[in-house]
Homo-oligomer: A and B are copies of this chain.
């Protein structure tokens, strides 16, 4: 364990727990949702606004940053935090997921992945050693092991082979990471939907030893029920005293279900991406602000929300600027969505602390099922 990362569970409620991860750059209240800042910006947000939503940590993407502006350049400029003006913790992914999504542009082997940049076609190579070097140069507080996100569906043989390669890469990641004061390294469990493979992967990761453990290979098309079935077994497989991070999840009800099953950290592009297409997340489910029924609606998106979009603007305005393609639409709706996600996390943390998570989840589902306000 890196000396940089300390995790204290402060309350539990069934499998769920709340706590605090302490890093040299600040505390992360868990369960934590990490907004995605792919290219060194949480799209359409200033970092001060991201912090105002309640985010303690953001995620950045190694693949994008290694290509543009380049890890060496970021390092030369004082590291990612200074570069993007975000002094709180940053987690970087390994780049593996993105390079392996480059269909036709990549060649994968035991060493790693050779691929061509989507920007200029230049050839690059990324394996565990390269990924560790890049993430350390970026200055991430939490570095992710290099792995293969096993595609779904995969038969058991394919899933086993993929998982075992990821475990060999996990070992190489650990070795290449070395001693990195102030930086922490997380391993990533694979194994698709197969309980025995998930167990084997977890055991192998624990044997190697990481500062935290991610659950990878989910939210890739298997559906919520299959995802929850995998998550049901996570607490028994991963160390209770280390953070558990579910990668790439998800919709609000995915998050509630994952937290109930013992997940401490999550990330997803949904609130930011949806913020640029007029899709808002609210207590009453999703609201499509492009819909003409909002055109004359003087009400806020959610009158119980304290974000700037809800405090200062009508649905009619949000509809107007969204339809007009104005940048302020992305700015306001993204802000709302991130605010909503962070309020959800704060609600989950408070409910766990109060031993009232089941009631919280019931209320969450009831409001969502009621749906958006009727038009007026």
Contacts and interface: CB of A to CB of B under 8 A. Distances in A.
8 contacts: A40-B317, A40-B321, A43-B326, A68-B320, A77-B317, A83-B316, A83-B317, A327-B327
B323 A68 contact: yes
Interface stretch (A23-31, A189-197, A307-315): A307-315
Contact of A69 (B44, B76, B77, B320): B320
A172 interface: no
Interface of A: 39-41, 43-46, 68-69, 73, 76-78, 83-85, 276, 295-296, 298, 308, 312-314, 316-317, 319-321, 323-324, 326-328, 330-332
Given A41-B321, A73-B296, A321-B40, A46 B85 contact: no
B296 A46 contact: no
A324 B323 CA distance: 24
Contact of A41 (B77, B78, B328): B328
A76 B77 CA distance: 51
A328 B76 contact: no
Contact of A324 (B39, B46, B76, B276): B39
A271 to B, nearest CB: 15
A44 B331 CA distance: 8
The 5 closest A-B pairs by CB, nearest first: A85-B312, A44-B327, A41-B328, A69-B320, A39-B324
B298 A78 contact: yes
Contacts of A332: 46
A183 to B, nearest CB: 22
Contacts of A321: 39-41
Contacts of A323: 68
A314 B76 CA distance: 12
A2 to B, nearest CB: 28
Nearest to A324: B39
B316 A73 contact: yes
A83 B46 contact: no
A324 B73 contact: no
Interface of A is mostly: loop
Contacts of A330: 327
A40 B77 contact: no
Contacts of A316: 69, 73, 77, 83
Contacts of A43: 326-328
Contacts of A296: 73, 76-77
B84 A317 contact: yes
Which of A76, A308, A324 has most chain B Cβ within 10 Å?
A324
Contacts of A319: 69
A83 B153 CA distance: 49
Contacts of A308: 46
A328 B45 contact: yes
Contacts of A45: 328
Nearest to A85: B312
A200 B328 CA distance: 43
Nearest to A313: B85
A296 B77 CA distance: 7
Nearest to A327: B44
Contacts of A331: 44, 46, 327, 331
Contacts of A326: 39, 41, 43
A332 B314 CA distance: 25
A320 B69 CA distance: 6
Given A68-B320, A77-B314, 4 more contacts: A39-B326, A46-B331, A69-B316, A69-B320
A331 B334 CA distance: 14
